[in-house]
Amino acid sequence: MSSPHDLPALHLLNTVFAGVTGQDLYLAEQLKAGIEQALAEQGGVVVATAAAGAALVTGVTPAAFAAAVQALQRKFAGGEDDLRHGFAHYDAAQGPAAPDSLWTREQVLAALRRLAPYQEATLLITNLHATFCPPGKRWTERRRAAYREVLDFLAALALARKRERAQLTLLFL
């Protein structure tokens, strides 16, 4: 059984590979386990993450997981872009500035431009939570309010900039 913090990754797999999983969380969990095992065997970066009040769980970094999902999606499409479903990833930890800056807006807009040709698309945003509250720091009301404000801003930005008839899934991991 997956822990609650695995649900965004499982939802991502169900969204991107709906034809394979049939929206079945058990199959998505098997796919996720396979991706994590393959990354660990290839020497992928493995980190320890902690769910609230839970024991430490070992998993791959969100960036490595997202790259593996993109590679697997291309492999399923025969090396060509599948115009039915697009996938883009923005890693907030890679930005040179604070997460509430114009840099984040520009990166999300660039990802939305890459997703424009697709009828269904998934935008995965990783490490945003960690950029607001680094490990070892506590969540203050000010940090929590700034984080909520950026989440709301990014959701509104994605809604305003997506194609009218496109279905966009926005995931924060």
pLDDT of res. 51:
36
Out of 72-81, 112-121, 157-166, which region has the weakest mean confidence (pLDDT)? 72-81
31, amino acid identity: L
- The Cα 120–Cα 168 span in angstroms is 6
Q: Quick count: other Cβ atoms within 10 Å of Cβ 27?
A: 16
Domain spans in the chain, listed from the N-terminal domain onward: 1-60, 83-173
Q: What is the pLDDT of residues 75-115, one digit of tens each?
A: 766 655 555 678 888 888 887 656 666 788 888 899 999 88
- Whole-angstrom Cα distance, residue 60 to residue 71? 15
Which one is predicted more confidently, 132 or 44? 132
Q: What is the pTM of this model?
A: 0.61
Distance of CA 100 to the CA centre of its chain: 18
Residue 131 has pLDDT above 80, yes or no: yes
Question: 32 and 9 in contact (C-beta within 8 Å)?
Answer: yes
What average pLDDT does range 7-15 have in this prediction?
A: 76
Determine the pLDDT at residue 39: 79
Is-contact 73 80, C-beta < 8 A?
Answer: no
Strand order in the sheet with 120-126: 85-91, 120-126, 167-172
Among positive and negative, which fits the CA dihedral 20, 26, 28, 33?
Answer: negative
CA 114, CA 111: separation in Å to the nearest integer? 5
The predicted pLDDT at position 22 comes to: 73
Q: Please count the other Cβ atoms lying within 10 Å of the Cβ belonging to residue 93.
A: 14
Sequential DSSP letters for 97-158 = S-TTSHHHHHHHHHHHHHHTT-SEEEEEEESHHHHHS-TTPPPPHHHHHHHHHHHHHHHHHH
